[in-house]
Structure 1
Amino acid sequence: MIIELIIGGPPDAIAKTDRRVGSQPDVDEVSERVSEGKDRGDRPPPKQIAYIDTMDRGVALVLVLSSGGTRAWRVLTYENGKAISRKIKGGTYPAMSVKAARDKAWEHFENPSKFKAQAEAGTFEQVADAWFKRHVEHNKLRSGYELRRHLDRYILPKWKNLQFHEIGRRKVTELLDDIADKHGPSSADAILSTVRSIMTWWEGRDDDYRSPIGRRMRRKKPTKRERVLNHDELRAVWKAAGECGTFGALVRMLLLTAQRRDKVATMQHSDISGDGTWTIQKEEREKGTAGIIRLPAKAIEIIEALDKVAGNPFVFAGRAGKALNHYSQGKAELDEFLPEMPNWTLHDLRRTARTLMSDAGARPDIAERVLGHAIAGVGGIYDRSQYLQQKSEALELLARHIEGIVNPQENIINIGGRRS
């Protein structure tokens, strides 16, 4: 026997009926009746109508119809004599059939601890906050700011109040499709990485949870960049950088030092000693850096040509006491001064500088140390030398080679002691 329970209606709105749970005509009929009550305004419409199908002693399947039209499956069981109702994961009608809902109800009856764990997981926001605190902040991840931005801008507006265990592959796909359409495939893949981290972290803490993230969910095939600027392009970029103020100086410094963009951008005056030695700051859990390098004379000239900003400790000063960080805007402005040429990125300058060091005759192992790359094998474990002198010589070779490219000298022929 099916019980129809009208919640929020008149006190006597409980009746027995022979209708089967999940019968499409009956569900539609009830929805229409709720809507009619709203339209007539003759009495407050019921907030919910629940069909309760007692499957066996101690377990019942419940279909709850809200006044808004949502049709949600729940399972009703008893624990210590008390009736407990829980949502069925992914359980909305007609997306989940009657048979599937009954199967889920039986699963709950046979393994209530699993469903209890699902309920205790809470909303996505609750799990995400726990992940951020116990994984991101605890491990002092350098990407914490960006991960927080992913959550606040892209993920939480969609999933904030969803039950964590109810988020399956379909919802993940819908989120990624929406982001790819509005912001591009690269942004979608970045969000996928954050969602995967959250779900993998929770999977390691919950016996019954399995992450819905699967293969082939990336929107963009990863590619390994190989772009190196040729000599004509290097001359053009160097010349254009001279027209772009502080950002242009940053571009030239990237070429002269072969360091990562953020390391150069956050260089502080206090990091540079009187002899031009730059101590590159390193944070916890960060990739390797060059440690200490002595800047070539050309790099010192660039720094001395920049105005110091009162109250701003950074060489490449931005606004409000911060380091310059408008990379996209600066790159777009610089591109306006360039002839037509293939796309390039600021990181391509680091690869270009590494290539030029080899062209200039620098030892490969020293060039790798300039870039801060890990040295493989026993040498990387036991050899703790800073190689300051060798790195300084490599950077001087690089600076001279760049100077020869951007300011090429015409061939000079001596005839009888005279130049022509």
Structure 2
Amino acid sequence: MARSGFTDVYLKSLKPRAIRYTVYEKGGGIEGFVVDVMPSGKLSFRYRYRLDGKRQKVTIGSYPAMNLGLARDLCREMVVQVQRGISPAAEKKRRRAEEKKATTFGALVDDWVANVLRKVNKTPSADEGFLKNYILPSLRDRNIADVDRAAVWACIDLAKGKKRYQAARRVHSVLKRVFDYAISKGDLHVSPVTGIDPKHIAPAQARDRVLSPTEIPVWLHTIETSGIPRSMKLALRILLLIPARKGELLAAKWVHVDLKERTWDIPKENSKNGTPLRHRLSDQVASIFEQLLLLAAGSEWVLPSSKGGGKKPLTKSGINTALRALKGLPNGIVIHDLRRTIRTQLTELGIAPNVAELCLNHRPTGIKKIYDRSELIDQRYQALLRWERHLHEIVVEPASASNAEQPNEVDTLIEKIRLDGVLRDYVLRKLLVVP
């Protein structure tokens, strides 16, 4: 069916039939511009064309929601696309897919991670882990406008259900930052996280746990006798000798370690505060790095992952998971507590506060930060050497004493008699009695 020149009056006069039918416009200057009339009475503008020898069609819009003039203009643009060898139908499908992708939570997260998290956070893997484990499984394919407060609480409760209460607070923090980013871009007007107070999730916990002198040998013995990989054991020994952050060691490459000069450089990109630091290595720490070099088997990473042929480093989650599975470790100890343990022991050993703080790469603040640029590398080396010797006393001497020859029963009895005056007098009287 054809009609010479569509008008609003004509379009309104079209009546539905039992099956859909098409009206072609003739003389309008656009070949292939048609109106489909549905059995429901709905009218749709469409463009029918031939490309690469195939007949194709694409919907332009519905009448009267889209007026006739706009429909013609859009159809003319599609004619130009066909002349350039572009399929308007395929282009529309691609554009819709892009629009759908842009509004999903997963797409928003990809954008936020690439353009915000990884640019401002030195160690983004932690937040990426919360996204992967607690947030994306339920929200990835949802439209960001459809994510409500109940969906946010579902992610938080997933962590709380595993009794990881501080992780639940971090889930809240990550979601808040993601949705704040969406608002700043104009993709969203109101954040579903608004109104959720972290105090209602779990109380904040400031960690103050340190290993006591009696717990250190237990911790070391449990690690050394466990079934975790040898490289992990060596890494944990380094972190008990040098108060580096776990992430700084995991990010270390062999170009940062000079075994000849016995130094380990932490570049600014691996440092949490963005400040590089050089550690001088003691004989013991250098020996541990030498063992790790053999285990690395040519990888550029000091601690390569067992997956992927050593092309990637061991992850924080990998070492954390391995430790959580161990039984016999002192209660409540995590790897970061080793830094606090060393810092506490340095104070006990009388190390100057500024030297002890620099051992942890804690820098002065305020005006001191501007003028005090000293590294105190020799003082830090001597301080950690004193800690290493003290650690040896804590771990080795009690073990040596426990392995010493135990006194026999006679020696024990003699010592008891010697110390007990009443018993000693009684024994002497018995020994001096003449039969």
Q: Is residue 2:348 matched to residue 1:359?
A: yes
CA contact (8 A) 1:288 1:373 kept: no
Q: Is residue 2:385 matched to residue 1:389?
A: no
Q: Does 1:229 align with 2:214?
A: no
Change over 3 Å in CA distance of 1:335–1:275 after alignment to 2: farther
Deviation, 1:197, is 0.9
Q: Would the alpha carbon gap of residues 197 and 249 (structure 1) be closer, same or farther in structure 2, given more than 3 Å must change?
A: same
Distance in 2 between the 1:284 and 1:328 partners?
19
Q: Is the 8 A contact 2:148 2:192 kept in 1?
A: yes
Q: Specify the structure having the higher radius of gyration (Cα).
A: 2
The one-letter code of the counterpart of 1:291 is L
Pair 170,79 (structure 1): closer, same or farther in 2 beyond 3 Å: farther
Matched-pair contact (CA < 8 Å) for 1:189–1:219: yes
| Residue 127 in structure 1 maps to residue 134 in structure 2 | no
> Distance between the aligned counterparts of 1:254 and 1:387, measured in 2?
20
CA distance in 2: counterparts of 1:171 and 1:10, whole angstroms: 46
Matched letter for residue 373 of structure 2: R
Taking structure 2 as the reference length, what is the TM-score of the superposition?
A: 0.59
Give, as a single letter, the amino acid of the residue that structure 1 aligns with 2:298: G
Contact 2:145 2:188 in 1 (8 A): no
* Cα drift, residue 229 of structure 1: 1.0
Q: 1:283 and 2:283 equivalent?
A: no
Counterpart residue number, 2:37: none
Distance 1:382 1:294, change over 3 A: same
Residues 79 and 373 of structure 1: CA distance in aligned 2, closer, same or farther (over 3 Å): farther
Structure 1 residues 107-146: aligned runs within 5 Å: 122-137=103-118, 139=119, 141-146=121-126
Residue 312 of structure 1 corresponds to 299
2:277 counterpart letter in structure 1: G
The amino acid of 2:201's aligned partner reads: R
Partner of 2:256: 271
Contact 2:265 2:279 in 1 (8 A): yes
Would the alpha carbon gap of residues 302 and 334 (structure 1) be closer, same or farther in structure 2, given more than 3 Å must change?
farther
Check whether the contact 1:257–1:395 (CA below 8 A) recurs between aligned residues. yes
Matched, 1:259 2:244: yes
Moved more, 362-371 or 324-333: 324-333
Q: Contact 1:240/1:248 (CA < 8 Å) preserved in 2?
A: no
Q: CA RMSD in A?
A: 3.8
Instruction: Give 1:17's aligned residue.
Output: none
In structure 2, what is the Cα distance between the partners aligned to 1:180 and 1:345? 19
The correspondence for 2:168, drawn from 188, 198, 216, is 188
Change (3 A) 1:172 1:381: same
Number of the residue aligned with 1:401: 390
Select 1:250's aligned residue among 212, 230, 235. 235
Aligned to 2:334: 345
Shift of 1:192: 2.0
Residue 26 of structure 1 is matched in structure 2 by none
* Cα offset, 1:254, TM superposition: 0.8
| 1:327 is the counterpart of 2:313 | no
Q: Name the CA distance, whole Å, in 2 between partners of 1:191 and 1:268.
A: 31
Q: Describe the shift of the 1:197–1:253 C-alpha distance in structure 2 as closer, same or farther (beyond 3 A).
A: same
Counting only pairs closer than 5 Å after superposition, residues 192-231 of structure 1 correspond to structure 2 as 192-206=172-186, 209-213=189-193, 214-217=195-198, 219-231=201-213
Question: Could you say which residue in structure 1 is the equivalent of 2:419?
Answer: none
Looking at structure 2, the residues matched to 160 and 267 of structure 1 have their Cα atoms a distance apart, in angstroms, of 33
Matches of residues 155-170 of structure 1 in structure 2 within 5 Å?
155-170=135-150
Alignment match, 1:368: 357
Q: CA deviation at 1:305?
A: 4.3
Partners of 2:283 and 2:136 lie apart in 1 by 50
Asked if 2 retains the 8 angstrom alpha-carbon contact of 1:288 and 1:372, the reply is: no
1:313 CA drift (Å): 3.1
Kindly provide the amino acid, as one letter, of the partner of residue 138 in structure 2.
K
Q: Structure 2 CA distance, aligned partners of 1:290 and 1:403?
A: 29
Residues 236 and 10 of structure 1, relative CA distance in 2, 3 Å threshold: farther
Amino acid paired to 1:231: P
Change (3 A) 1:168 1:229: same
In 2, the alpha carbon distance for the partners of 1:247 and 1:190 equals 26
**SS of equivalent to 1:293:** strand
Identity of aligned residues (%): 26
Secondary structure in structure 1 of the residue aligned to 2:294: coil
- SS of the residue 1:198 aligns to: helix
Structure 2 distance, partners of 1:170, 1:330, is: 33
In 2, Cα distance between equivalents of 1:241 and 1:312: 24
Q: What per-residue deviation string (whole Å, max 9, x for no partner) do you get for residues 170-198 of structure 1?
A: 33223433453367444433332221111
The answer to which structure has the higher helix fraction is: 2
Gaps of 5+ in 1: 1-8, 13-48, 50-76, 83-118, 412-420
Q: Secondary structure at the match of 2:264?
A: strand
Unaligned residue ranges in structure 2 (runs of 5+): 1-15, 20-39, 41-63, 70-99, 402-435
| Aligned mate of 2:221, from 233, 239, 259 | 239
Q: Which amino acid aligns with 2:209?
A: R
Contact 1:289–1:371 (Cα < 8 Å) also in 2: no
Separation in 2, partners of 1:128, 1:368: 37
Change (3 A) 1:11 1:141: farther
Deviations 1:270-329 (A, max 9, x none): 322223121113317842556011122221233334561322234445422144443135
